[in-house]
A and B are shown apart, each in its own frame.
Chain A
Amino acid sequence: MDPPAIAVEAFRKSYGDVDAVAGIDFTVAEGEIFGLLGPNGAGKTTTLECLEGIRYPTAGTLRVRGIDPSREPARLRDAIGVQLQTSGLPETMQVEEAMRFFCAYHGVKPRLDLLERLGLQAKLRAEYGTLSTGQQRRLALALALAHDPPVVFLDEPTAGLDVGTRAELHTLVAELRERGVALILATHDMAEAEKLADRVAILLSGRIVASGTPKALTAAAVDLTRVSVRSERETLAGHDGALPGVQRHARKDGYDVYFSDAVGATVMAVLDALEEAGDPLVDLRVERPSLEERFLELTTQGGVA
């Protein structure tokens, strides 16, 4: 079995008496996208910064392709690509200049094609300080990927990006996976994590409270499946919780929403009730709990999976 691209073992990081990260373990394989999720202050950025060699762990072992980030920073530089949450560049540095500048330090040719792909071709001479937030993040992403690193860390990569660029980023991430790049994605965007990540870990107060594939995580949710029904005459309102499997009922935007633990029985009962009432069905939706709902369940109730 190949060694993992990233290995985190018993990692702890303290600032004074406060544990920002209180002992976590995970691994990321080559070609795997690993989502690191959690509310603000959960320890996501601290974990990334220690893996990037910006900060040093208080305890535990971190390895990036076998490199100890705190002891071998020179070897680490070409092995990782990093898009920082706050991607600071000098205000007067021009877009193309930044690409040439950092590529020179990595000893590779500047990747102007990446700038074009991320929609920055018209901004090559623009100074960093004049770029919009989205453009600044796109530039940071291009710089992170320019030297073809085998490991990539993206911290809130799509914050401030428009829909088109977000889609381009998703395509880029998929391509990186195809090329065997190991990628850690720290994000608040649950839909994005659900879409992109092969596995995710949910961090809460410096601890991993749940981890696994997005599908497995949502399957473990205690949230009930939603059956949303809309009919012409809205005759279902009187049934409330009387349908089989239904634990809760609500009305929202013209829909009767049933939270059920027996979806099949509930749907059949709903259709029977409508037929009996002679009330034509307009719309029926069955929705599993999303990763976002699972995340909210864990972060608000302190649940552990």
Chain B
Amino acid sequence: MRALVHHAAYEFGSGLRNRAMLLLLYLFPLGFFLIAGGLMIGLNPGFREVVIPAMVVFALMAGCLLGLPDPIVAAREAGIFRSFKIHGVPATNILLLPGAAIIAHLTLVAAIITVVAPLLFDAPLPANFGAYLGVFLAAAAAHAGLGLLIAVVSASTRATVLWSQLVFLPSVMLGGLMVPSEMIPDTFAVFARLLPATHAMNAMRGLAYGEATAFSSVGSLLVLLAGAALGVALAVWLFQWDRRAEGRRVSPAWGILVLVPYALGALLL
């Protein structure tokens, strides 16, 4: 237990000490919130209604997809996990604690956005705070699971950037953050439902704000929960201690299975 506490404290602290992490966890999403919030509401006053969920989901994407995988891949490449293994640090802690620490940071960021948005942009608060928190945690876990999976399947830090952007950019464009899901053309709408951001926005709007949604918001919450569980499980299963790790070798291609809940969501919801 003492080890777990030390490890968790270290992971949380490194989010503040590491400049790149500080940027991706705090400065980037909060800066984007201030600039894009003001700009988008100026262009489209209706954006005010979704600025809180949109910016919270954006923060989750920045932290979990751009911030979480890279340090894990860099640590594996630098042989840091070999030191951890020798001292008996379990693989699950190596993956889950950075994920949990990032979620803790992002909870602070979400709280800042939730408090500041009504003051700055006259944005409406969630109608159901319990549901808001629940959907936030499910969306955070789903994105963190995806981030961890990207970390374990990436062969290098370069590949990590590509995988992360492969999810991040479409999520910004199609996830319902900037453009409401209802306005996205049907062809893209199916693809959009493969993204956790789409389900996070749908569940936020339906469950936390009580809005009518294009598809089931409860279904989206279930997709997020299943995606989180599968992402984390696959990441633990595919984890390698270093580049030349031996023993059980599983193809990283199995990581594609993480899409199953999202594909089912796209087909059934």
Contacts and interface: CB of A to CB of B under 8 A. Distances in A.
Given A54-B86, A106-B88, 11 more contacts: A53-B85, A53-B86, A56-B247, A74-B88, A80-B86, A82-B86, A92-B14, A92-B17, A97-B10, A101-B7, A105-B88
Given A55-B246, A56-B246, A78-B88, A89 B83 contact: yes
Contacts of A52: 86
A86 interface: yes
Interface stretch (B36-44, B74-82, B137-145, B177-185): B74-82
A86 B79 contact: yes
A247 interface: no
What 6 pairs between A and B have smallest CB-CB spacing? A77-B88, A104-B3, A88-B80, A88-B79, A92-B17, A104-B6
Interface of B: 2-3, 5-7, 10, 13-14, 17-18, 71, 75, 78-80, 82-83, 85-89, 241-242, 244, 246-247
Nearest to B3: A104
6 contacts: A55-B244, A88-B75, A88-B78, A88-B82, A88-B83, A90-B71
A143 interface: yes
B2 A104 contact: yes
B16 to A, nearest CB: 9
A88 B247 CA distance: 22
Contacts of B247: 56, 70
B17 A84 contact: no
Contact of B82 (A54, A70, A74, A106): A54
Nearest to B241: A54
Contacts of A97: 6, 10
A223 interface: no
Interface centre among A84, A86, A91, A106 (most CB of B within 10 A): A91
The B contact surface, by secondary structure, is: helix
Contacts of B86: 52-54, 77, 80, 82, 84
A56 B246 CA distance: 7
A186 to B, nearest CB: 15
A143 B3 CA distance: 15
Contacts of A93: 10, 14
Interface string A105-122: 111000000000000000
Contacts of A87: 83
A86 B241 CA distance: 15
Contacts of B6: 97, 100-101, 104
A26 interface: no
Interface residues of A, number: 32
A143 B242 CA distance: 20
Nearest to A15: B244
A90 B88 contact: no
A167 B80 CA distance: 28
B80 A102 contact: no
A91 B89 CA distance: 18
Given A84-B86, A87-B83, A97-B10, A105 B3 contact: yes
A80 B88 CA distance: 11
A220 B247 CA distance: 41
B123 to A, nearest CB: 35
A127 interface: yes
A56 B241 CA distance: 13
A92 B17 CA distance: 7
Interface in A100-151: 100-102, 104-107, 127, 140, 143
Contacts of A104: 2-3, 5-7
A49 to B, nearest CB: 8
Contacts of A89: 80, 83
A90 B78 CA distance: 9
A84 B83 contact: yes
Most A-side CB within 10 Å, residue of B2, B7, B80: B80
B131 to A, nearest CB: 36
A82 B80 CA distance: 13
A92 to B, nearest CB: 4
Contacts of A53: 85-86
A172 B37 CA distance: 61
B249 to A, nearest CB: 11
Contacts of A77: 86-88
A80 B14 CA distance: 28
A92 B18 contact: yes
Contacts of B85: 53-54, 73
Nearest to B87: A102
Given A56-B246, A97-B10, A84 B88 contact: no
B130 to A, nearest CB: 35
